[in-house]
């Protein structure tokens, strides 16, 4: 029997609750496809940091690099100063494992409510490919004369030809392999004339290698407008780290909320990490009310990535069937508890 070793980081807040449901579904789908999973747990997150003072050890990073797939719940703790866990765990893992693509499908499923009037599953179906190792997230810059009236804070965006080009190429390859017709570069060429000039030139060059796919461009501010007004305009979006972060929260809202939004941090030749993008949701922690579908859809992306598209499709179909039975995608209003939703998805695996 085929076996996959998966590293699991349940993390903070509702992370462990939703990860459990994801694992429940993976195991059930695995039975059908004769695939076994072995899970290795990594205790990372705010609780461990508060208890032991350790955020992430070098040897843990090295160990994590040996897996093809990592399943992450959420990182972020209300008692830890913002930035410590995010930079110390999530961003460090993305960077050190060179997960240079953050793949975020924005897909409205039948029966899920969207706040966008007169738009449905046909109109809201695209993918954002967010550069995941550079840009403003690289941590370049510094501070001078802190806490004085003369304080200076500099935060620079790093854009390398290599980093930009490999991300753009991934977007075109993704389009080609998934029957998508258009790749839109989202940037700010009218103001950020150094960084997005590099992006635009790399984009234009890569686009010539894909004659069947249309290359397009949109400014990031206009993009937020189009997401609401004409989401059907998008097919595949490629953008930098910061813009990708911002537009994918908006994307999550138009696809029905954080309860259904999943993402993958992809290193095509190394360890990739799949997560529900909603965060640790402290106010719902431990209540068995959070929506686990995003985590379950993260396992679908994981299976796709591992080269098990039939199993991925099967999980997606089970999610679609479950959605039809739910009252809402919002925590506490689903008509079922977190664990019951996991059970329903398992029942819907046929």
Q: Based on CB atoms, which residue is closest to ligand IPM, 155 or 230?
A: 155
User: Could you tell me which residues come within 8 angstroms of residue 250 by beta carbon, excluding any fewer than 6 positions away?
Assistant: 224, 227, 228
Q: Which residue is nearest to ligand IPM (CB)?
A: 86
- The one of ligand IPM, Mn ion, none whose footprint includes residue 295, by CB under 5 to 8 A per kind, is none
Q: In whole angstroms, what separates CA 181 from the centre of its chain?
A: 22
Say how far apart CA 83 and CA 87 lie, in whole Å.
Answer: 5
- Nearest distance from residue 246's CB to ligand IPM, in Å? 9
Residues 111, 48: contact at Cβ < 8 Å?
Answer: no
Say how far apart CA 54 and CA 24 lie, in whole Å.
Answer: 30
Q: In whole angstroms, what separates CA 182 from the centre of its chain?
A: 21
Say how far apart CA 124 and CA 77 lie, in whole Å.
Answer: 32
- The one of Mn ion, ligand IPM, none whose footprint includes residue 86, by CB under 5 to 8 A per kind, is ligand IPM
Q: Based on CB atoms, which residue is closest to ligand IPM, 245 or 308?
A: 245
- Nearest distance from residue 80's CB to ligand IPM, in Å? 12
Q: Strands 101-107 and 125-131: what pairing? A: antiparallel
- Nearest distance from residue 279's CB to Mn ion, in Å? 8
Enumerate binding residues for Mn ion (CB under 5 A): 245
- Nearest distance from residue 292's CB to ligand IPM, in Å? 18
Enumerate binding residues for ligand IPM (CB under 6 A): 76, 86, 90-91, 245, 277
Q: Based on CB atoms, which residue is closest to ligand IPM, 215 or 256?
A: 256
Q: Based on CB atoms, which residue is closest to Mn ion, 245 or 275?
A: 245
How far from 8 is each of 244, 279, 335, CA to CA, in Å? 25, 16, 28
Q: Based on CB atoms, which residue is closest to Mn ion, 202 or 258?
A: 258
Q: Which residue is nearest to Mn ion (CB)?
A: 245
């Amino acid at each position: 029997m085929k076996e996959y070793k998966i590293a699991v980081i349940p993390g903070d807040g509702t992370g462990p609750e939703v990860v459990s449901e994801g694992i429940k579904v993976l195991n059930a789908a695995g039975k059908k496809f004769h695939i076994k999973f072995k899970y290795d747990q990594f205790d990372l997150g705010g609780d461990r940091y508060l208890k032991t003072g350790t955020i992430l050890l070098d040897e843990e990073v090295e160990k994590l690099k040996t897996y093809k797939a990592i399943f992450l719940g959420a990182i972020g703790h209300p008692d830890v100063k913002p930035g410590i866990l995010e930079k110390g765990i999530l961003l460090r893992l993305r960077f050190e494992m060179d997960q240079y693509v953050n793949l975020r499908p924005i897909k409205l499923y039948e029966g899920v409510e969207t706040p966008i009037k007169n738009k449905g599953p046909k109109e809201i179906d695209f993918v954002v490919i967010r550069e995941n190792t550079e840009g403003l997230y690289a941590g370049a810059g510094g501070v001078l004369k802190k806490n004085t009236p003369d304080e200076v804070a500099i935060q620079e965006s790093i854009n390398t030809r290599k980093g930009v080009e490999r991300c753009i190429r991934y977007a075109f390859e993704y389009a080609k392999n998934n029957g998508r017709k258009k790749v839109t570069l989202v940037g700010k060429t009218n103001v950020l004339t150094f960084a997005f000039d590099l992006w635009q030139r790399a984009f234009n060059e890569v686009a010539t290698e894909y004659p069947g796919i249309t290359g397009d461009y949109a400014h990031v501010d206009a993009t937020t407008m189009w997401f609401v007004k004409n989401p059907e305009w998008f097919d595949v979006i490629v953008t930098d780290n910061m813009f990708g972060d911002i537009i994918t929260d908006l994307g999550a809202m138009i696809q029905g909320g954080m309860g259904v939004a999943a993402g993958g941090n992809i290193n095509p030749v190394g360890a990739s990490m799949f997560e529900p993008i909603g965060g640790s949701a402290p106010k719902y922690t431990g209540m068995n009310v959070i929506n686990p579908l995003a985590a379950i859809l993260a396992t679908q992306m994981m299976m796709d990535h591992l080269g098990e598209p039939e199993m991925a499709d099967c999980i997606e179909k089970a999610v679609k069937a479950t959605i039809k039975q739910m009252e809402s995608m919002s925590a506490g209003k689903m008509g079922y508890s977190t664990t019951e939703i996991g059970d329903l998805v398992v029942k819907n695996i046929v």
